[in-house]
Structure 1
Amino acid sequence: MMKITFLGTGTSTGNPEIGCTCEVCTSKDPRDWRLRASAFVEIDGKHLLIDCGPDFRLQMLTHSITRLDGVLVTHEHYDHVGGLDDLRPFCRDKGVDIYAEDNVAEAIITRMPYAFREFKYPGVPNLELIRISEQPFDAAGIKVIPIRILHGKLPILGYRIGNFAYLTDLKYISDDEIMKLRGLDVLVIDALRKGHHPSHEGLEEALQNIEKIRPKTAYLIHMSHRIGLHEFIEKELPANVHYAYDGLTITC
């Protein structure tokens, strides 16, 4: 059995957005307060993190997570890698394995050169960059299948682990990649807001892709404050589709 915890379900600005007084940003419902998107996967005694954004420290403290066996990085945008320096407490015994494509690995090195110098000063995070491609790979002994998607025009990766798949920042997915997602129990997929956006799926596009992929259950993530109040928008969805929220835990 696999356990998935949604550590963050918001877009790059988070919800509430700084300075905004809309009904979502001033909501008292905790389901409308969304940290930057990330998920924690527990399977076969292993702990895998998907993306490590700027809210990582708070997410770890909130959920009392004290061990990580690897980090799967979808792409190099700050809201998905901005917390990598905060991996330091997880590096005391050994380095933390970071699984990323070549271009993403190079972006991480450029932003954090101090972590990859031959002679490091004490206390820097010990990050072991493991470069991946579109081929399946093992992360701490767990088989992971990369899924090629487009974030606007930027090629990024989603991941399938067993009968669970996580697709964030999605705008386009090919039919060939959809075939890799057949037979899912749980699909997690991007739905920024209602209506069009140039680099993210809107709700309508997300629902169309869910129909193509045909998972048993789907959860929507990476929502902005423009999506609406959770209490009401949840009621508008098909029976097998749900808006995820921070702290939601599911099993499959």
Structure 2
Amino acid sequence: MSLVELERWGPAGWDTLAGIIIDRPESGLLSPMRLDYQRQDGCTCVALPGVTLELEDFQEDDFVPVISLPFVLWASPQVPGEVLETYEGEPIAALLRDLIPSGWARRRLLKRLRSPRRQDGTIQDGPQHDVRLLKECALSPIGNFRINGPSVDDGLFPSIPLDVERAGDWYWPYEPFNEAAGLYDIHPIWAGLGAGGENPKLLINRANDGQFYLDGNEPDGCVITDYWLVKWPREPVSRNRIDIL
């Protein structure tokens, strides 16, 4: 059994919305799973700051949908939430599929996480990697949800701004953390990789400190003012193709 924490961006910044229990981690998103909305004092659902929803406000047999309560946050229309209710099964997996790295990002992350390889050297992918990818690599998906994981504010990774002057280097999309310069160990390898697809893409933000960051590598206290989805050519990289994009 494994637990991942679903976070949502709200008026107070990032905050825990729900806990998701994955019964069989080796089965990944194919595992039975359940979602419990975060509760305070054992009887309160997550609400906007200053709003407290007490147990006595509802009868246990009312099953008032959270989606009908404008002051309560919920995960998605498929997982709208009911007060004091637990959600199970496929709707939870569908929510996580939007958050877990996919395509080129997944392949790159599995390589960096030193995942097992086949005899021919290719990555041995499979659902057994899903939980690790969620816990360690799902801090920068597109949207206002993320899975709680290693944070740049934990002291594990410094929030190093992006060097946009080097962004045009032909090798940059494949080595965005500049391993050759010895910076590999101090950059979060998941940063900027929240966009799916079979070809390289990076999410880049500009924060209110005026600096550019790979998405997820900015301090949580920063306010993001601009967003970019940067794509690279599907064909072999060339200066002309980079200039066109």
The alignment's TM-score, normalised by the length of structure 2, stands at 0.30
TM-score by length of 1: 0.29
The structure with the largest strand share of the pair is: 1
